A and B are shown apart, each in its own frame.
Chain A
């Protein structure tokens, strides 16, 4: 398979970036999208050029490092997948590809396709945890958790912190990410006690990091690689409403 790639190149946040066009040929259909970029980078090295920088680590859809907007879709247009899980066989009918970084004020571009998502860490630091001391926990079966709640908590907890929900949102809001954590912890008896304070702290932090607010566009749910549902946002709103 042969591809024409328009890839966003940007030296750093202070210098304007632009698309640069590359051609790459003879790509096997079982090659992953990132392996295709690896091969392009090998070509660039051979031509004495600086490589295209993009984030990745696990390459199996769980670490949340990979990003990329491909032909306008964060993580590509395949449902419930991260960029690292895309294979070139998914692009049989689109041989011209536009590859950009996630774009949001709170995710400044570092270089090329790499953005700074440390604002997500700050949100967790503001309260996205249960305040338990290490070393002094009661027996794990002392508090029972009904299976439906445990399963639902797990579903919310599978968020990988990739930021696609922000990248797709017209308001660049991080509400889905925040709501997923609040819901995960609120559904468990261990996390229930602090829930309201937690939710307020995290939302305040979200605002001070420069993320927008939610106005129910629901694009986030559609691009989320882990299928985090907007019902998490309703659940968060319930937590906030109780006094």
Chain B
């Protein structure tokens, strides 16, 4: 084991970013167009970065796998984005958002980074409003706010239930503006399949054109990955179907450390699965918890009844009972585990899948009575519509059914204060990096982080890297480029021609998801994790023997795309279990059953585990490196939401 360092500045927290900015090298405007940057991914983080770098005058090439950058998974974010504007004058401040984020992350995030994030949060809202993002407003014309999961101040800005859509369209339009100005080029329907390394520096990528199947190399001075999170490792999750780990996993295999892979967030308010052929789960925004009350029947005999027929005294408002101070707004992990405990006891509601009813009620009758139907529709209309079109039930009349589902991954590529990975010249932004959320992320903080990375941090730190390094041109017949291309082509042939083709990529993905959900989901335990590692290794062997991809490779072939993503997920799944096994404590969303209090809350072990676990790829066993976390400004406390 060895140590790694974030290289964050020292001194007073408030001045660190400013001081750092002053120390970063700049490039004169006339020299910028000589530098080329590749950005993979054009979600919030990637699109905002391309727009900013393009505007500054750098040459930028961006890629995404969807048919348009406007369709990145960021589009699906519903609830909102945090900012320390304190427009509501309810005592919010940079310090409070910083404190809430560190505490919410259960003291497993880096102070300097989180403070910077809180500082930048205010500028993000200014930027978005100037771009025409139609945030919700009061009748006075001022911006409206709401309170969001786990906080006691109203600091969340929102655009009805479509905040991610509106923010992404803002960033997409800013990106489009640079495309029109020719500073930026963009290729959609293109998937990065390999990172090109030259002299230990990231110098390019191998990309497959998903329409023609053509594989090509692209070189640059540096590479930034903004490729999103990996919740789809669980097969069923709230993420878009295409979300994958391939870009970050390829980078890991080229030497970038992967940090805290087991820190994955399970979201408490999703629509429960109804059958075995389900392809994804849908999130019901957490904002619903502001006004909805969560309950389950007290008696198992009531579980199949119409909820309207269950008497008030037979309902268990379990979050209100267990956590009176935060009640229905208890943090995501706490709320998720509480729901799991209820359903494991046989008190769940909804369809029975493999012997269990996985659902609890989220009830709006009280608020409808108080505010009236119209006011509730104004606030949540599109979410209610979405729920009823999926389930065929009317949430204005019958309580919703909800159950936890994988939603967000705090883990990701390890990055230093400059958001550079352990590979020189390879940066990571947005959900793809591990940086700011520790062991658990607060609601409405991912959009904020993606945009802080893309609009404000990476443009400065990437420029600094370009200024400090003299990089010679890498052309397409460089041996490293040729070799990377060949490796990708060989791998594609392995998918196309397995020794005994038998099962589709979906088959392997579902198997993997099943293993991980049981062993590395909401609760984890040494024995189950050890078994899962064995099972996943076996699945991997089987994959290479039996993967079946029909069609041809020089064509639009979605089965081939899936095969590549699934096998990367399989390898990542194993590392997640290893990481969860190594971390003999519970913290945030990582709940090891051996380390929970009687009340089911996480028992952290700060003496042994106050570090970021960053894994280095090795052909035999991955090697763990530790970034020790030092709390200079906040005293780690026991999280108590009672």
Contacts of A121 in B (CB 8 A): 68-70, 176, 188
A157 and B142 contact, Cβ closer than 8 Å, known pairs A56-B241, A132-B131, A137-B126: no
Q: Which of A26-34, A93-101, A212-220, A231-239 contacts B (4 or more CB under 8 A)?
A: A26-34
Assess whether A18 is interfacial by the CB under 8 Å rule.
no
Assess whether B215 is interfacial by the CB under 8 Å rule.
no
Contacts of A139 in B (CB 8 A): 126
Say whether A111 contacts B160, CB under 8 Å.
Answer: no
Contacts of B76 in A (CB 8 A): 58, 60, 62-63
The listed residue (B52, B75, B211, B282) touching A63 by CB distance below 8 A is B75
Say whether B559 contacts A65, CB under 8 Å.
Answer: no
Say whether A35 contacts B279, CB under 8 Å.
Answer: yes
Say whether B134 contacts A137, CB under 8 Å.
Answer: no
**CB contact list, B59-86 vs A, under 8 A:** 66-73, 75-76, 85
Number of interface residues of B (CB under 8 A): 78
Q: Which of B164-172, B526-534, B612-620 contacts A (4 or more CB under 8 A)?
A: B164-172
The listed residue (A116, A138, A150, A190) touching B136 by CB distance below 8 A is A150
Q: Using a CB–CB distance below 8 Å, which chain A residues touch chain B?
A: 28, 30-32, 34-35, 38-39, 41-42, 44-46, 48-51, 53, 55-65, 81, 85, 87, 89, 110-111, 114, 116-118, 120-121, 124-135, 137-141, 143-147, 150-151, 153-154, 157-158, 160-161, 184-185, 188, 190-191
Assess whether B91 is interfacial by the CB under 8 Å rule.
no
Min CB gap B517→A, angstroms: 19
Bound complex: CA A48 to CA B550 (Å): 6
Interface string of B159-185 (1 = CB under 8 A from A): 110100110010011101101100000
Bound complex: CA A165 to CA B123 (Å): 36
Q: Using a CB–CB distance below 8 Å, which chain B residues touch chain A?
A: 48, 51-52, 55, 66-73, 75-76, 85, 87, 123, 125-132, 134-143, 159-160, 162, 165-166, 169, 172-174, 176-177, 179-180, 188, 211, 240-242, 274-275, 277-280, 282, 386, 389-390, 392, 455-456, 459, 504, 506, 548, 550-552, 555-559
Min CB gap A155→B, angstroms: 9
From B69, B85, B138, B279, residue with most partner A Cβ within 10 Å: B279
Bound complex: CA A76 to CA B116 (Å): 47
Min CB gap B561→A, angstroms: 10
Nearest B-chain residue to A161, judged by Cβ: B70
Nearest A-chain residue to B454, judged by Cβ: A134
Nearest B-chain residue to A52, judged by Cβ: B558
Min CB gap A136→B, angstroms: 9
Extra inter-chain contacts (5) besides given A81-B389, A147-B139, CB under 8 Å: A53-B556, A121-B176, A140-B85, A190-B131, A190-B132
Say whether A138 contacts B126, CB under 8 Å.
Answer: yes
Say whether B173 contacts A63, CB under 8 Å.
Answer: no
The listed residue (A89, A137, A141, A190) touching B392 by CB distance below 8 A is A89
Say whether A58 contacts B75, CB under 8 Å.
Answer: yes
Contacts of B87 in A (CB 8 A): 141
